[in-house]
């Protein structure tokens, strides 16, 4: 195991539902990330939190709302999603604040497979 846990593993929701994805890291890391993985596409970075502050938001629609209450937990709140939002959502963490260490590697959770009907 990588030390990064995501729940739920699978989620099916309607376009009018509100749901949340949860990520917890047990590594003592200081930066956490949300990525979107779609088939045959590069991983898309969505959000980055460093020391519980959002440091990046890569033009993600407002129907995705992240929350980082502490350095170990990261949430992605979902509201009025579209079918094209169906994908695997991956959480990751890295050790240093702002992930500034040059050789930094990312530790990923197993992801939440999201289907929007």
Partner 1 sequence: AQSVAQPEDQVNVAEGNPLTVKCTYSVSGNPYLFWYVQYPNRGLQFLLKYITGDNLVKGSYGFEAEFNKSQTSFHLKKPSALVSDSALYFCAVRDGYSSASKIIFGSGTRLSIRP
Judged by CB under 8 A, the residue of 11, 21, 48, 74 near partner 1 is 48
Judged by CB under 8 A, the residue of 16, 41, 69, 84 near partner 1 is 41
Closer CB to partner 1, 17 or 110, in the complex: 110
Q: Interface with partner 1 by CB under 8 A: which range of 11-19, 48-56, 65-73, 79-87?
A: 48-56
Asked if 4 interacts with partner 1 (CB under 8 A), we say yes
Asked if 89 interacts with partner 1 (CB under 8 A), we say no
**DSSP one-letter code for 72:** T
Closer CB to partner 1, 66 or 109, in the complex: 109
Long-range contacts of 17-20 (CB under 8 A, 24+ apart): 17/78, 17/81, 18/77, 18/78, 18/79, 19/77, 19/78, 20/75, 20/76, 20/77, 20/78
Q: How many residues bind partner 1 (CB under 8 A)?
A: 33
Contact (CB, 8 A) for 53 and 99: no
């Amino acid at each position: 195991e990588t030390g990064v846990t995501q729940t739920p593993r699978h989620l099916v929701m309607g376009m009018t539902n509100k749901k949340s994805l949860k990520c917890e890291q047990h590594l003592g890391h200081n930066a956490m990330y949300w990525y979107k993985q779609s088939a045959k596409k590069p991983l898309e970075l969505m959000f980055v939190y460093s020391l519980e502050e959002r440091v990046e938001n890569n033009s993600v629609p407002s129907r995705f709302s992240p929350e980082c209450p502490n350095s170990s937990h990261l949430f992605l709140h979902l509201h009025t999603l579209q079918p094209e939002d169906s994908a695997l959502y991956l959480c990751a963490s890295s050790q240093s604040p702002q992930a500034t260490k040059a050789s930094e590697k990312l530790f990923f959770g197993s992801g939440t497979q999201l289907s929007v009907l």
